[in-house]
Structure 1
């Protein structure tokens, strides 16, 4: 981002010098502050009020104007944060008695629906095996296929998946590492807040893991044979979340899907498709490991959205002429 020209108001220039040299904020952050404070200066000028004389009702009016112009609640919240810091500094300088931005809140933005794959796309991604660039690394497809099956078949978070071990270990469990139990058909994971849960393994996921385990031993270098991670990388160390994101993105592109797929999209797909089939919100909550049912209820919106799309596409009375 290019450095924004300094504002004309001397108070703003002093404040920006303060955050640049005393608080040592990054140049990009200072540039963003400059743009936000320029908006404040323009709004105050339009209202015929000096910066140091702005009051609570002025700020609320400025917020309403930004919202009316189409700015999102999140964008307004970021701007208010910059304004709040400026007026806090004015108060420290003894130039104002009260911060006019205090207790002013941005309008709430509607929460975007999580993106989920259609059933056909999810199945295609799970079944599509790209040609390995190097035959010596053909084991990567078995590993990636097992990861996709666990994401879509068990609804795991990426942190839960990379934390899985090939076998249970008391010390690893203390560190929050889960494990796979193919005999019982369960995956045991440590989720958010270090809460453990057990999720049934789908038949396809069990097949993929059973096919991967012997290849895992062959893929591990000699110095990493004691590595407990279920999903190691080329060097034998536990895969990172970033590496999983990258591999999943590459696999979805090789499969010809319209948009890159990330781990949480498969978790959303698992929850959405499960709810569409069963209608059991409480069961989906337990399987996902949500502490509150309200978190799970977003998938009912996905379900209704899907039904609305089917209605719009198929029903003769759906659209007005």
Structure 2
């Protein structure tokens, strides 16, 4: 089966439906319904973001509550959609922006050209009724003029183009889109870590699921914040700070006793900067002392 059909926004709030957790298909419909149909600005928590057509600005925790799912189940489902190239995600300052792939392809009226199979009998009936009316008009005109009229061809004798659908036909094609489709959403730009940054709950939950203790997460969050606030240059700008945090915690969990990895790097750099000849003279002095003894 091919073609398209329209769904009214807000259909899920109809009281006829029981309030229960969403199925995976209903979760996908929820994403399509919540996606912006045009560019707009949206406030998520304390952050204001700009979403393009086909994008959703939200958080995984909010999605889980809307679907009636656990946070981990919602996260795994979104990861599966992303692996199947159905959505794209980007997270910055605790706000997740979901981009629906091929949104313009399936949501543009210009693409809805297929007519459902069930409309064919209705259209044929309209065509037959129209031809019958034409024959009746021809007979009435002949009686009024008292002369012969041109013969009316039988509609069933040869194929003809179907008559246009009357006004108000529910199966009429939608009007063409007068404006060209908008450009594809651009990826988020790199930026510095927000000056008032605090660890979002979603980031903390992810670290907890990976096995980090609450004290370790708090300690690493302070290191993370201080390091990136102090760092300068192009390397201090990231397009996805959530991914940067995940990589930070993975290194911390892989080396739990390494301490401050950046501080260790600085100590190794200072050791490498010491003159080699000073170590050599120290070795010679030790041999002389040993010989005298």
TM-score over 0.5 (shorter chain): no
More helix as a share of residues: 1
With the length of structure 1 as denominator, give the TM-score of the two structures.
0.21
Give the structure-2-normalised TM-score: 0.22
